[in-house]
Amino acid sequence: MTKGQGFGFGLGKMKELTEAFKKAQQVQEGAKRLQEELEQMEIEGTAGGGMVKVVMSGNQEPRSVTISEEALAEGAEMLSDLVKAAMVDAYAKSTATMREQMEELTGGLNLPGL
């Protein structure tokens, strides 16, 4: 180890590392706020032209299912398909919302798995 080199980090590298830690802390704090916001969101999925509606939180927590009289008249098999389709719609919207919010939060950082 050369005198004045420390652990291979120059002062410039230490500054970059400090900035990276600050950004990571900001992202972590923002993620906590985002989690709270997602819990409060209500995202609706529909099927059959609105005959079945499913509401989920931004975290994909089921909140409610509304089934119209028309959907009930369609029979059990069709009703099951409509409920599933509405759930898939709500899940897709919720996932897209979460992804958009995370991209906004991370400000274009390349984070694996997001």
Q: Coil, strand or helix: which one is 38?
A: helix
Which two three-digit tokens encode residue 14? Answer: 């230490």
Report how many helices (DSSP H) and strands (DSSP E) the chain contains, helices first: 3, 3
Q: What is the mean pLDDT of residues 94-102?
A: 88
pLDDT for 31-90, tens place per residue? 888 888 888 999 999 999 999 999 999 888 999 999 999 999 999 999 999 999 999 999
Residue that has been written with the tokens 């931004």 in this structure: 58
- Let me know: does 89 contact 60? Beta carbons within 8 Å: no
For residue 85, what is the enclosing H or E element?
Answer: helix 76-106
Q: What is the mean pLDDT of residues 88-113?
A: 80
pLDDT at 111: 52
- Let me know: does 82 contact 71? Beta carbons within 8 Å: yes
Best CA proximity match to 86, nearest among 42, 47, 58, 50: 47
Q: What is the mean pLDDT of residues 81-106?
A: 91
Domains of the chain, start order: 11-106 (3.30.1310.10)
- Beta bridge partners, 106, equal none
